[in-house]
Amino acid sequence: MARFTRIEVATTMKAEGLVPLFYHNDLELSKNVLEACYKGGARLLEFTNRGDHAHEIFAELNKFAEQELPELIMGVGSVADAGTASLYMQMGANFVVSAMLKEDVAKVCNRRKVLWSPGCGSLTEISKAEELGAEIVKIFPGSQLGPGFIKAVTAPCPWTSLMPTGGVKATKENLSGWFNAGAACVGMGSDLITKEHLANRDFEGLEEHVRNTIELVRSVRN
């Protein structure tokens, strides 16, 4: 069962402004990544459901986080159906993210009061997601839609909370563009937890990069 309520998750997402995204099939490496992100100041992490037996890795990581990183809110991404969402929630997922709008995923998450963030690419989809209970809507692919899309949506719908994912980079120019347009938070994957960090097992470098990125997010939001 989720350790954090969906209200706590949404509040943390908006307060922190950054949701790291990550997947790897090596459990020990993944534990090191979690610890580096946590030491760097991250309090959220989305483990993407991409490889075979990914749910087994997630289950062990969530247990590790509960014991060693108690403030870390673990969630799952790349969830395409209700069965997968239910599987991860049984393993303690605190939030569920999808690349697309799936009503069956909304229903199972709402039943367990777990935050659900669907990927949307139009105002119609965003409105539908909010009708289905989405507190924070993922804008995907962010690289194709851009900050202008967020600005255009939040102008007539200022109550809408949007999280662009895809195309978000750890630079002042890129982050300023998203947050100045009205993003509630951003999802960041390979530009935060880079291939170089993973290949070189450079966890100290990762910790520093996460810390610097969080400070950058704070600076552009102030």
Q: Which amino acid is at 201?
A: R
Determine which helix (DSSP H) or strand (DSSP E) holds 220, and give its type and residue range.
Answer: helix 203-221
pLDDT at 59: 98
pLDDT at 222: 83
What are the residue ranges in the chain where pLDDT is below 50?
none
pLDDT at 112: 96
Give the closest residue to 32 by CA, choosing from 67, 72, 61.
61
φ, ψ of residue 75 to 5 degrees: the values are -135, 180
**How far is CA 180 from its chain centroid?**
19
Q: Which amino acid is at 111?
A: R
pLDDT at 19: 98
